[in-house]
Structure 1
């Protein structure tokens, strides 16, 4: 792992455990949505760090409730709950990726998926929400669409999106190459 990434990761606990972060204070009435962007080549290291972070919170800060949502795992769970997994696999094999994307656009619309995410994980009742797996679910789910939909559902619960790409404070570029369709307002967790 490169030293710059390690230094940024090491700053996360102090940031997320601060009362300002946990209470979404000092954000000018904005919801506490934070993005930790990183080089996609460091995906495995970031995954390991998230495990470390969860372990640290559980053992040393048990009063801070959190949920870590891996979007790929939740997406599969959601599609299974709706009876779509086998159908989706068959469709993809018979008609290809484009047909699958089109067929899943309705069931995966954020008006359906975002409420499922919040209800299933009880995210709004937690002190912190971590979301990972953005790169694993692209192009089925788009991070900026998810974040926009979660605004009204999470209330004042702070959320950290681990993002394999680049976020400059105004726009997101997945994998450092694929621009988001919309401007998004969130805060950079660690510059």
Structure 2
């Protein structure tokens, strides 16, 4: 299936009653991954924007779509805490690896108090579908499996779709089709090939 056909299946899928009832296969919580070749990033962004606008919270549809761009969340949190400019200066002095580690610690990405997960939880209304975007932009600070694993433990009332620029085998996430990630077993492919 080509990318246009795959993108065209997103809207019918998210309107299915079983999807909206937040039941995946075997009645597990509905976490889904829409994987795509990174060269189609702009096409996918365009469709996400179209769907988010169409199903906004003030529409006549029975659900809304809430998009969370993971990169924008990182910037917002750093800005709110007054660290954004400090991070730029820190990177100049210490380098990207050291800065990335410092941001991971600041955002508490490896703990139960994960600030990105809390940010999403605090802004997720009832009767919505959550779209997670910005996975590629947030790398290497944020790894998608980290967000999914932590979010899965706390958010189970609404379906969640991660838009992933790479491959998802149903088991493994491979960012940009080259960077192997940790396994993530709880998500289902949004569109089956």
Q: 1:21-72 CA distances to partner (integer Å, 9 max, x unpaired)?
A: 0002353242100000000011111111111112332487533122111111
Q: Which runs of 5+ in 1 are unaligned?
A: none
Give the ranges of 4+ consecutive aligned residues of structure 1 lying more than 6 Å apart after TM superposition. Answer: none
- TM-score normalised by length of structure 2: 0.90
Hey, what does 1:53 align to over in structure 2?
Answer: 51
CA distance in 2, matches of 1:109, 1:34: 24
Q: Which runs of 5+ in 2 are unaligned?
A: none
Hey, what does 2:114 align to over in structure 1?
Answer: 112
Which structure 2 residues correspond to residues 69-148 of structure 1 after superposition, within 5 A? 69-110=68-109, 111-113=113-115, 114-119=117-122, 121=123, 123=124, 125-148=126-149
CA distance in 2, matches of 1:89, 1:102: 14
Contact 1:130–1:159 under 8 Å retained in 2: yes
Q: 1:76-125 CA distances to partner (integer Å, 9 max, x unpaired)?
A: 10111122111111000111101101211211223322112221x2x253
- TM-score normalised by length of structure 1: 0.91
Contact 1:124–1:155 under 8 Å retained in 2: no
CA RMSD after TM alignment: 1.8
